[in-house]
């Protein structure tokens, strides 16, 4: 146990060294034509993947470790992004299309003065404060209401989906004064540095990678504590935990808020790197995509979501260029196949194949990789809780 | 019970199996042969109906020619004679005359022939000329068609006075239009003209008018015109009449009159009373209109959610591809419509090739080129077909994906979301990324009104259809052997299995039935909205909510919650003045409602823990 922990720490440190120190150095200190050179584009894309990986870890913390499939993680991610976006919009100053001291879309809507709630966002610390308070507060409120009335399993998923849907409808409205369906874009500066400079992008890349490592370490530590054990116990049999005297609702609420904060952090780092934030980012599909990264990578492990986020997004970048029409076909098929045949994802693939190999070498007939039923006992047979619609004749 | 019940599946199942096999064969054929198309001879398009040759002796046309060529009293009498004819030709020619678009062709024998130039011009800006006398194309002696530009011919003269007489004739003509709706709108136009000269015309029409709505419109128009009468007694009578008729269209006129008649206290008093009465009436009309819209929206939700209530409520399967089953139904309607029309074809080329040949396949189905009532009846064939197609799609989905996931509901959610992505992409490839055009049959267009509240036929149809579907589903579940088996398996799968029920088959049938209901919903969503690849996405959240609020596993609950959510949505739209705000309020209320009743409206009491 202790040894494997050491190995893990070593691998993590090695990987972070390569990704967070070597790659940026190669980007900064080698010339354009050199075979060692890492392009600005690559740095930017990887930085984006880091943010996705942060989001994926937050999904896994909820789904893989606590058994709560939340279809609203993209909402928290986007809320964080919006708070950062508001600060970046204020940083543009008078350099916008209309050369006014207020954001362009407000000029377009006929405003000549900044609305009151926009004013404090000129300060970076305030924007960061709001990026914690808003998603955290929303998660706390919603989680309190949901867990108090023991909404769980599928119902929890559907309710989070509805929450996300309502929020995206709200953000699509111009009258919210958050940019409507165009959202925020055209950012120029961040903390006094030009966002288009490669060095700024490199800084953001290192920052995202460092945050990912920290989040990973935090979650890794959390899963080894007693809290982590209770968390997994809730996933496997919530009633048993409840009857052992634990208030499962409080545990779930804590994990839910923590996951929301992690997702929001991902969003904060994401926006300055892609340069745009709009309400389509918070639609249900985005949450489901994040869930898919976790499923592909392997849920219930912390490496899985990171591997999944990188693998699926790399595949997406390739497929949207090679076969633009077939990308969603490919995504859908991957999702079906992974759910049916690879319940443990890429990370669990080795173990799965080993099992098949052992059975094969032992001379037993090879059984098709049957989905493991013990992995997600979220709900018992749905059958037990139903009654006849009408009396039998 | 178990044996006999299970037996009833066999014929149905055989049919389904054969159907599935045929489909696979078809798909296999299509994909193996690159570039194959089932080409059929392009069927000839519907022949352009030749303009019906009008009899030269048509009295209306003769009167028109007479009116154009004569002067003075003869002209007057010809126009008066025309005003009672109610003929479309007459109004077309007369309105062309007021625009100076009736031309006089000097015939070789010295007489003048009134003609109208066609809208369609050739390259030289010239158009064919149509004779007013018989509606035929003007030809010279050798039989060659004559073409003219605007300035080539003299126009039939009309001075200011004549034009106003023609205009009056046109207005009266409109009053005799065979279509009651056109008559009503003509009457309304006269009522707002403020020309008292029309009163006798309108009263003459009132004497012969038989349709009640038009009679009411005429009375309203006469009273509106009388408001400008010089005699206060007539004015008061008119105001009372308008109040009695609840004339909503006259509200502005009454308000204007109130301003100008401050000095007549009795009249002002009457007007205030009338305005109050009409406003109250408008309030009621809006109220009932909103309720009606709410119920029709609720019916749509109901049909969409009913399928979900079966698959999600009874089987515990989260089918994110339910929305795509709706789209299957809608696209089936589209294909059936095209088969009744000019045919349907599609062609897909995949972006990679095998041995230099691009992989492509397509299908070309010839159409019936039906017109008239046969074409209008396409929807009646589309309804059962969309049920069958969606049920078939559901069957394939159940066999290929869902049967492995019955014990893992969260993962069935994810896998079916993958299915939904795949299906949307297939729709895009086959039908294109844009919305397709589905024409409503004529008998679903239009509306009727009861006391100013208008009821669209398509909405009434949706409500009636929803009632039928609910009753059908109820009967199927409670009165048929299949329904009995469904309920048995849903309640206790293990026990049902022990008693000899083939649970896998029951699952299959239940899922196919639920999907088929979604297909039905798609068939009539195609009549009231756009049909596109992401049609289903707009309904998926709403329908899940409907099932959850109603109480999972309860069909009655689904009915109540669909109606409740539909009506609440419409009422809140009215109150908040924006559809989006209304929707947000509804969603938040649902989340709060579940705090109070976590199991939904009709929650099922159970001693089991989870």
Question: Between these two residues, B223 and A130, which has the higher pLDDT value?
Answer: A130
Provide the strand spans (E) within B476-585. Answer: none
Distance from CA of A1 to the nearest CA of B (A): 31
∠B481-B482-B488 over CA atoms, to 5°?
90
Compute the distance between CA of residue B215 and CA of residue B187 in angstroms, rounded to an integer: 10
What average pLDDT score do residues B595-610 get? 70
Which of chain A's residues have a Cβ under 8 Å away from the Cβ of B539? none
List chain B domain ranges.
Answer: 61-161, 179-263, 289-328+379-596
Structure tokens at B15: 């049919």
Q: Residue B424: is its pLDDT beyond 80?
A: yes
Q: Residue B325: is its pLDDT beyond 80?
A: yes
What average pLDDT score do residues A289-296 get? 92
∠B513-B519-B520 over CA atoms, to 5°?
95
Give the H/E segment covering residue A281: none
Output the pTM of the full model. 0.74
CA distances (Å), origin A37, targets A24, A30, A44, A135, B280: 10, 5, 14, 39, 78
Considering only A202-216, A258-272, B56-70, B463-477, which range has the smallest mean pLDDT? Answer: B56-70
Structure tokens at B521: 């919903």
Contact B131, B117 (CB under 8 A): no
Compute the mean pLDDT over every residue in chain B, rounded to the nearest whole number. Answer: 78
Q: Residue A366: is its pLDDT beyond 70?
A: no
CA B64 to chain centre: 39
Tell me what pLDDT residue A364 has. 57
- Contacting residues for A67 by C-beta, under 8 A, at least 6 apart: A234, A235, A236, A238, A376, A378
Is A318 within 8 Å of chain B by CB? no
What average pLDDT score do residues B102-125 get? 79
Question: Between these two residues, B34 and B294, which has the higher pLDDT value?
Answer: B294
Compute the distance between CA of residue B425 and CA of residue A247 in angstroms, rounded to an integer: 45
pLDDT tens-place string over residues B544-554:
888 888 887 77
Considering only A261-270, A289-298, B215-224, which range has the smallest mean pLDDT? Answer: B215-224
Distance from CA of B372 to the nearest CA of A (A): 40
Q: Is B415 within 8 Å of A339 when comparing Cβ atoms?
A: yes
Assign B515 a pLDDT band (cuts: 50, 70, 90): very high
Dihedral sign for Cα B419, B398, A295, A240, please: positive
Q: Domain B289-328+379-596 class? A: mainly alpha
Q: Residue B52: is its pLDDT beyond 90?
A: no
Question: Between these two residues, A117 and B162, which has the higher pLDDT value?
Answer: A117
Q: Classify residue B553 by its DSSP letter.
A: T
Tell me what pLDDT residue A372 has. 46
Contact A252, A148 (CB under 8 A): no
Please identify which residue in the block is written with the tokens 């690559």: A42
Q: Is B478 within 8 Å of A392 when comparing Cβ atoms?
A: yes
Compute the distance between CA of residue B237 and CA of residue B223 in angstroms, rounded to an integer: 8
Identify which of B417, B484, B580 has the shortest CB distance to residue A335. B417
Q: Residue B232: is its pLDDT beyond 90?
A: no
Structure tokens at B373: 């009532």
Q: Given the DSSP bridges, would you call strands B102-106 and A276-277 parallel, antiparallel or unpaired? A: unpaired
∠B410-B412-B417 over CA atoms, to 5°?
105
Provide the strand spans (E) within B322-401. Answer: 344-354, 357-365
What average pLDDT score do residues B139-151 get? 77
Q: 3-state DSSP: chain A helix, strand, coil percent, rounded to 5?
A: 70, 0, 25
Is A325 within 8 Å of chain B by CB? yes
Q: Is A159 within 8 Å of B315 when comparing Cβ atoms?
A: no
Q: Residue B239: is its pLDDT beyond 90?
A: no
First to last CA, chain B: 30
Give the number of residues written for chain B.
610
Assign A262 a pLDDT band (cuts: 50, 70, 90): very high
Which of chain B's residues have a Cβ under 8 Å away from the Cβ of A293? none
Assign B1 a pLDDT band (cuts: 50, 70, 90): very low
∠A162-A166-A170 over CA atoms, to 5°?
170
Assign B605 a pLDDT band (cuts: 50, 70, 90): low
Compute the distance between CA of residue B130 and CA of residue B134 in angstroms, rounded to an integer: 8
Tell me what pLDDT residue B608 has. 60
pLDDT tens-place string over residues A24-42:
888 778 777 777 788 888 8
Q: Residue B206: is its pLDDT beyond 80?
A: no
Question: Between these two residues, B312 and B307, which has the higher pLDDT value?
Answer: B307
Please identify which residue in the block is written with the tokens 């993209």: A74
Which of chain A's residues have a Cβ under 8 Å away from the Cβ of B317? 382
Assign B289 a pLDDT band (cuts: 50, 70, 90): confident
Question: Between these two residues, A300 and B447, which has the higher pLDDT value?
Answer: A300
Q: Residue B7: is its pLDDT beyond 70?
A: no
What average pLDDT score do residues B76-100 get? 76
Q: Is A328 within 8 Å of B604 when comparing Cβ atoms?
A: no
Q: Is A339 within 8 Å of B411 when comparing Cβ atoms?
A: yes
Please identify which residue in the block is written with the tokens 């890429």: A346
Quick one: which of B480, B530, B481, B472 has its CA closest to B502?
Answer: B481
Assembly ipTM: 0.83
Q: Residue A127: is its pLDDT beyond 90?
A: yes
Mutation for B interface: A336, A369, A374, most B CBs within 10 A: A336
Tell me what pLDDT residue A386 has. 41
In A58-97, the residues whose Cβ lies within 8 Å of chain B are 63, 69
Give the H/E segment covering residue B131: strand B127-131
Q: Residue A197: is its pLDDT beyond 60?
A: yes
What average pLDDT score do residues B380-405 get? 92
Structure tokens at A110: 């006929």
Q: Is A335 within 8 Å of B421 when comparing Cβ atoms?
A: yes
Quick one: which of A288, A283, A95 has its CA closest to A194?
Answer: A95
Tell me what pLDDT residue A249 has. 92
pLDDT tens-place string over residues B572-595:
888 887 778 888 888 888 888 887
Compute the mean pLDDT over every residue in chain A, rounded to the nearest whole number. Answer: 85
Tell me what pLDDT residue B498 has. 92
Q: Residue A173: is its pLDDT beyond 80?
A: yes
Tell me what pLDDT residue A259 has. 96
CB atoms within 10 A of CB A191: 11
Contact B462, B300 (CB under 8 A): yes
Q: Residue A132: is its pLDDT beyond 90?
A: yes
Identify which of A163, A339, A378 has the shortest CB distance to residue B409. A378
Assign B223 a pLDDT band (cuts: 50, 70, 90): confident
Assign B604 a pLDDT band (cuts: 50, 70, 90): low
Q: Is B610 within 8 Å of A392 when comparing Cβ atoms?
A: no
Q: What percent of chain B has pLDDT over 70?
A: 88
Mutation for A interface: B313, B316, B542, most A CBs within 10 A: B316
Q: What percent of chain B has pLDDT over 90?
A: 11
Q: Is A326 within 8 Å of B417 when comparing Cβ atoms?
A: no
Compute the distance between CA of residue B250 and CA of residue B252 in angstroms, rounded to an integer: 6
Chains A–B, number of C-beta pairs less than 8 Å apart: 184
**Helix residue ranges, H only, A149-247:** 153-172, 198-224, 226-236, 238-243
Considering only A19-28, B413-422, B527-536, which range has the smallest mean pLDDT? Answer: A19-28
Contact B337, B439 (CB under 8 A): yes
Which of chain A's residues have a Cβ under 8 Å away from the Cβ of B507? none
Assign B393 a pLDDT band (cuts: 50, 70, 90): very high
Q: Residue B283: is its pLDDT beyond 90?
A: no
Identify which of B404, B413, B491 has the shortest CB distance to residue A154. B413
Which of chain A's residues have a Cβ under 8 Å away from the Cβ of B545? 158, 162
Contact B386, B328 (CB under 8 A): yes
Q: Residue B33: is its pLDDT beyond 70?
A: no
Assign A384 a pLDDT band (cuts: 50, 70, 90): very low
Q: Is B580 within 8 Å of A384 when comparing Cβ atoms?
A: no
- Helix H, strand E, coil C: the string for A326-389 is CHHHHHHHHHHHHHHHCCCCCCCHHHHHHHHHHHHHCCCCCCCCCCCHHHCCCCCCHHHHCCCC
Which of chain B's residues have a Cβ under 8 Å away from the Cβ of A159? 548, 591, 594
Distance from CA of A208 to the nearest CA of B (A): 28
Q: Is B413 within 8 Å of A157 when comparing Cβ atoms?
A: yes
Is A169 within 8 Å of chain B by CB? yes
Is A380 within 8 Å of chain B by CB? yes
Contact B535, B390 (CB under 8 A): no
B137: helix, coil or strand? strand
B290 CB-contact burial (10 Å; exposed 0-12 / middle 13-18 / buried 19+): middle
Is A15 within 8 Å of chain B by CB? no
Which of chain B's residues have a Cβ under 8 Å away from the Cβ of A340? 401, 404-405, 415
Compute the distance between CA of residue B577 and CA of residue B8 in angstroms, rounded to an integer: 54
Contact B491, B506 (CB under 8 A): no
Tell me what pLDDT residue B394 has. 94
- Contacting residues for B278 by C-beta, under 8 A, at least 6 apart: B242, B243, B246, B247, B248, B250, B251, B254
Contact B243, B278 (CB under 8 A): yes
CB atoms within 10 A of CB A52: 24
Tell me what pLDDT residue B34 has. 40
CA distances (Å), origin B185, targets A264, B92, B524: 59, 17, 30
Structure tokens at B181: 């709706």
Tell me what pLDDT residue A231 has. 92
Is A32 within 8 Å of chain B by CB? no
Which of chain B's residues have a Cβ under 8 Å away from the Cβ of A387? 491, 553, 604, 606
Q: Which residues pair with A286 in a beta bridge?
A: none
Tell me what pLDDT residue A138 has. 95
Please identify which residue in the block is written with the tokens 């049957």: A370
Considering only A79-93, A178-192, A225-239, B415-429, which range has the smallest mean pLDDT? Answer: A178-192
Q: Is B544 within 8 Å of A161 when comparing Cβ atoms?
A: yes
Distance from CA of B211 to the nearest CA of A (A): 47
Quick one: which of A297, A319, A320, A333 has its CA closest to A56?
Answer: A297
Q: Residue B126: is its pLDDT beyond 70?
A: yes
């Amino acid at each position: 146990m202790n040894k494997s922990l050491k190995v893990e720490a070593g691998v993590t440190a090695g990987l972070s060294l390569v990704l967070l120190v070597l790659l940026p150095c190669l980007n900064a200190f080698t010339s354009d034509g050199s075979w060692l050179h890492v392009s600005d584009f690559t740095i930017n894309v990887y930085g984006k993947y880091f943010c996705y990986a942060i989001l994926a870890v937050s999904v896994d913390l909820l789904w893989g470790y606590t058994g709560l499939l939340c279809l609203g993680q993209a909402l928290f991610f986007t809320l964080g992004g919006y708070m950062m976006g508001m600060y970046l919009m204020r940083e543009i100053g008078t350099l916008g299309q209309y050369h006014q001291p207020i954001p362009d879309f407000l000029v377009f809507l006929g405003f000549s003065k900044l609305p009151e709630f926009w004013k404090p966002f000129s300060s970076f610390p305030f924007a960061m404060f709001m990026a914690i308070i808003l998603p955290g507060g929303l998660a706390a409120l919603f989680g309190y209401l949901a867990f108090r009335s023991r909404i769980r399993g599928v119902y929890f998923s559907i309710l989070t989906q509805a929450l996300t849907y309502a929020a995206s409808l709200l953000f699509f409205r111009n009258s919210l004064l958050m940019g409507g369906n165009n959202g925020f874009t055209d950012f120029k500066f961040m903390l006094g540095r030009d966002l288009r400079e490669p060095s700024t992008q490199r800084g953001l890349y290192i920052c995202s990678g460092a945050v990912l490592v920290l989040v990973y370490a935090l979650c890794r530590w959390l899963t080894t504590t007693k809290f982590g054990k209770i968390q997994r116990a809730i996933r496997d049999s919530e009633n048993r935990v409840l009857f052992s005297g634990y208030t499962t609702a409080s545990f779930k609420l804590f994990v839910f808020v923590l996951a929301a904060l992690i997702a929001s952090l991902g969003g904060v780092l994401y926006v300055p790197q892609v340069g745009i934030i709009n309400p389509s980012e918070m639609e249900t599909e985005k949450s489901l995509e994040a869930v898919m990264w976790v499923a592909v990578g392997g849920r219930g492990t912390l490496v899985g979501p990171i591997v999944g986020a990188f693998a699926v997004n790399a595949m997406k970048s390739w497929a949207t260029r090679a076969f633009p029409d077939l990308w969603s076909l490919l995504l859908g098929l991957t999702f079906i196949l992974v759910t049916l045949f690879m319940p443990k994802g890429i990370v669990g693939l080795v173990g799965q194949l080993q099992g098949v190999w052992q059975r094969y070498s032992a001379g037993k007939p090879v059984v098709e990789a049957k989905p493991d039923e013990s992995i997600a006992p979220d709900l018992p047979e749905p059958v037990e809780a139903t009654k006849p619609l009408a009396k039998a004749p | 019970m178990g044996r006999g019940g299970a037996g009833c599946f066999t014929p149905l199942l055989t049919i389904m199996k054969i159907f599935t096999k045929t489909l696979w064969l078809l798909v296999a054929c299509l994909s193996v042969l690159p570039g194959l198309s089932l080409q059929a001879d392009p069927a000839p398009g519907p022949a352009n109906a030749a303009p019906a040759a009008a009899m030269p002796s048509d009295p209306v046309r003769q009167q028109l020619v007479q009116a154009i060529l004569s002067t003075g009293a003869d002209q007057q009498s010809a126009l008066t004679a025309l005003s009672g004819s109610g003929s479309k030709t007459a109004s077309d020619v007369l309105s062309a005359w007021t625009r100076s678009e009736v031309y006089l062709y000097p015939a070789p024998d010295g007489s003048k022939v009134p003609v109208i130039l066609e809208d369609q011009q050739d390259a030289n800006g010239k158009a064919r000329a149509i004779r007013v006398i018989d509606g035929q194309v003007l030809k010279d002696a050798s039989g060659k068609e004559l073409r003219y530009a605007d300035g080539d011919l003299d126009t039939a003269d009309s001075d200011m006075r004549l034009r106003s007489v023609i205009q009056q004739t046109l207005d009266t003509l409109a009053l005799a239009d065979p279509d009651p709706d056109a008559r009503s709108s003509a009457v309304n136009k006269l009522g707002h003209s403020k020309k008292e000269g029309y009163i006798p015309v309108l009263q003459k029409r009132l004497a012969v008018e038989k349709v009640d709505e038009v009679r009411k419109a005429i009375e309203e128009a006469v009273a509106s015109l009388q408001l400008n009468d010089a005699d206060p007694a007539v004015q008061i009578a008119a105001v009372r009449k308008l109040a009695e008729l609840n004339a909503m269209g006259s509200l502005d006129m009454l308000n204007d009159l109130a301003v100008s008649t401050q000095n007549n206290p009795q009249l002002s008093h009457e007007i205030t009373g009338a305005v109050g009465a009409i406003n109250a009436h408008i309030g009621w009309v809006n109220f009932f209109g909103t309720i009606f819209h709410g119920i029709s929206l609720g019916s749509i939700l109901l049909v969409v959610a009913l399928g979900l209530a079966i698959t999600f409520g009874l089987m515990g399967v989260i089918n994110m591809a339910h929305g795509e089953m709706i789209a299957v139904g809608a696209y089936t309607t589209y294909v059936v419509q095209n088969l009744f029309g000019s045919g349907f074809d599609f062609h897909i080329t995949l972006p990679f090739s095998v041995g230099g040949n691009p992989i492509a396949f397509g299908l070309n189905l010839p159409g019936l080129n039906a017109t008239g009532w046969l074409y209008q009846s396409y929807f009646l064939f589309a309804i059962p077909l969309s049920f069958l197609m969606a049920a078939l799609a559901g069957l394939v989905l159940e066999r290929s994906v869902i049967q492995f996931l019955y014990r893992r509901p969260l993962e069935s959610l994810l896998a079916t979301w993958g299915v939904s992505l795949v299906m949307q992409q297939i729709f895009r490839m086959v039908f294109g990324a844009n919305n397709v055009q589905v024409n409503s049959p004529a008998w679903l267009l239009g509306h009727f009104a009861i006391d100013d509240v208008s009821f669209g036929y398509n909405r009434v149809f949706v409500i009636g259809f929803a009632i039928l579907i609910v009753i059908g589903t109820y009967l199927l579940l409670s009165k048929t052997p299949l329904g009995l088996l469904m309920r048995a398996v849903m309640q206790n799968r293990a026990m049902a299995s022990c008693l000899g029920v083939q649970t896998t088959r029951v699952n299959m049938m239940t899922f196919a039935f639920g999907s088929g209901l979604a297909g039905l919903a798609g068939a009539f969503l195609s009549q009231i909205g756009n049909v596109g690849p992401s049609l289903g996405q707009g309904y998926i959240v709403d329908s899940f909510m409907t099932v959850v609020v109603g109480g999972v596993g309860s069909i009655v609950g689904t009915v109540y919650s669909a109606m409740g959510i539909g009506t609440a949505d419409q009422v809140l739209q009215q109150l908040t003045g924006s559809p989006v705000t209304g929707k947000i309020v509804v969603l938040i209320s649902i989340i709060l409602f579940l705090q109070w009743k976590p199991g939904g409206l009709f929650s099922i009491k159970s001693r089991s823990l989870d």
